Amino acid sequence: MPAPAVSPTKSVFRRFRRDNRGSAAVEFSLIAVTFFALFFAIIETAIVFFAGQVLESGIQDSGRLIYTNQMTNTNTTAQQFLDDLCPRIQTLLNCQNVDIDVKYYPPGSTITLTEPISAGSYNNSGISFDIPPPNSTGTVVVRGYYQWPLIVTGLGYNIANIGRGTANNKRLLVGLSAFHVEPPP
Sheet harboring 138-149: ordered strands across? 98-105, 138-149, 170-181
Q: Which of 49-63, 117-131, 145-159 has the lowest mean pLDDT?
A: 145-159
4-11 long-range CB contacts below 8 Å, 24 or more apart? none
Amino acid, single-letter form, for residue 129? F
Cβ count near 19 (within 10 Å): 9
pLDDT of 95 reads 92
Residue 175: predicted pLDDT: 95
Q: What length is written for the chain?
A: 185
Burial 98-132 (b: 16+ CB within 10 A, else e): bbbbbbbbeeeeeeeeeebeeeeeeeeeebebebb
What confidence score (pLDDT) does residue 13 get?
63
Predicted confidence (pLDDT) per residue in 16-54, tens digit: 566 667 777 788 888 888 888 888 888 999 999 999 999
> Whole-model pTM?
0.80
List the chain domain ranges: 21-181
Query: What pLDDT, on a 0 to 100 scale, did the predictor assign at position 134?
Result: 77
